[in-house]
Amino acid sequence: MNGEIRVGHGFDTHRFSDDPDRPLILGGVQFEGAAGLVGHSDGDAVAHAVTDALLSAAGFGDIGVLFPDTDDKWAGADSIGLLADAVARLADKGWRVVNADCTVLTEAPRIAPHRDQMQARLSEVVGAPVTVKGKRAEAMGALGRGEGLACWAVALIERQ
């Protein structure tokens, strides 16, 4: 790497929905048979955390500024599309993503069986390696009771 490099951090959390018809989508991958997440968009907390990490690294603000949940334009939005939009905004200013890494904290469902698919989907959209790992809250607090899930992400970007 020869150019300027920057790191960014992202975090997101969503509650699980009571709506049995709401699909769970994480990292652009649908988890069959799992409860979905409440959200103005599709509730993809992993895509949101990675998006925020990238926007933050470049100093472009955050997902709430660019895609406000008060705007009906983003209702039910495919969050992978928002992530792709963020990557395009970075590229526009000469930033290339080096890699990103995510930790998803959830009691259920298990992330491991979907990990390869999530990594492949996210890496494809970001244009760089995106790694994912799942952790459990060990029955502590709201996340431990399965009320929702949280995701942390870091991303490294390089100016071309």
Instruction: Specify the residue, 82 or 126, whose C-beta has the smaller distance to Mg ion.
Output: 82
Q: Which residues bind Mg ion (CB under 5 A)?
A: 12, 48
Alpha-helix residue ranges (DSSP H) falling in 11-133: 45-58, 63-66, 79-92, 115-126
- Which residues have a Cβ under 8 Å from the Cβ of 21 and sit 6 or more positions away? none
Q: Which is nearer to Mg ion, 45 or 87 (CB)?
A: 45
Q: Which is nearer to Mg ion, 48 or 121 (CB)?
A: 48
- Smallest distance, Mg ion to C-beta of residue 80, A: 13
* Residue 4 beta carbon to Mg ion: minimum distance, rounded to whole angstroms: 29
Rounded to whole angstroms, the Cα distance separating 96 from 126 reads 9
103 in Cβ contact with 133 (< 8 Å): yes
Q: Smallest gap, in angstroms, from Cβ of residue 21 to Mg ion?
A: 20
Q: Is the Cβ of residue 52 or residue 107 nearer to Mg ion in the bound state? A: 52
Minimum separation from the CB atom of position 138 to Mg ion (A): 24
Q: Give me the sign of the Cα torsion angle 134, 137, 139, 145.
A: negative
Distance (Å, whole) CA 79 – CA 63: 10
Give the residue nearest to Mg ion (CB): 48
